[in-house]
Amino acid sequence: MQEQIRGYVKSERHGSTLIIEFFHPQSNSLPHNLLTDLASHIHGAGLDDEIRVVVLRSAGDRAFCAGASFTELLQIKTVREGEDFFNGFAHVINSMRKCPKFIIARIQGKCVGGGVGIAAAADYAIALTGADIKVSELEIGIGPFVIGPALERKIGLSAFSQLTIDAASWRTAEWAKTRGLYSEVHTNIQELDESIQRLVNHLVRSNPQAVREIKKILWQGTSHWDQLLSERAKISGQLVISEHAQKAIKLFNKT
């Protein structure tokens, strides 16, 4: 019962495939402890020579990830606490970037904020119709600083700026596919899971060394992200304790 209240991150091995699943009762939002666990599971998958491909998914049939936990954001009182929290997202993105295995994201529902960043950091995202996206950070008095590099890398500066500036608007899954965030969009769960399994079956037969080298190419130019995302986390940490942000987060937390 406690696990269901607090949420969880767990991994299940299926042959050479590792399925990493996260859950939180508040629309799969991510408090700091789950961010830490998620980064740890991804890092561990990268070190396991028996694992050939990683599938990242969330539990349930609704939201994929609602981003940062508003409850925890309201508890932040100092810049250091804020920086530590947003570094949680930085660690997840960097663990995905550094993992020498392809990471397939199963996007079964809507993505908000940090959830969009996680989708962008995946090597291949397969989504369901209705898996709309929104980058709402500006609405709550901060900005998509930590997830920005991953989003800009995947969808380009123009699309990233649209999401960032018009933070109140949802974009459809088809919009996300057109911009390159999603690789595929399917109309039902069965098709979604069949497509993931088809890709997994192909990738587990791939040469691990070839996959490792391809990931290096795909993520070329990001070796400075450990420092960059940490710097971005500090900006978010400073902003989240402002009076403006705290008022906005309280309003969002009530909806």
Q: Where are the domains of the chain?
A: 2-207+222-254
Give tens-digit pLDDT for 120-172: 999 999 999 999 999 999 999 999 999 999 999 999 999 999 999 999 999 99
Phi and psi at 227, nearest 5°, equal -75, -45
Instruction: Give the type of residue at 58.
Output: S
CATH class of 2-207+222-254: alpha beta
Give tens-digit pLDDT for 182-199: 999 999 999 999 999 999
Predicted confidence at residue 251, as pLDDT, reads: 86
How far is Cα 191 from Cα 171, in angstroms, rounded to an integer? 22
Q: In what order do the strands lie in the sheet with 102-107?
A: 8-14, 17-23, 53-58, 102-107, 124-128, 184-186
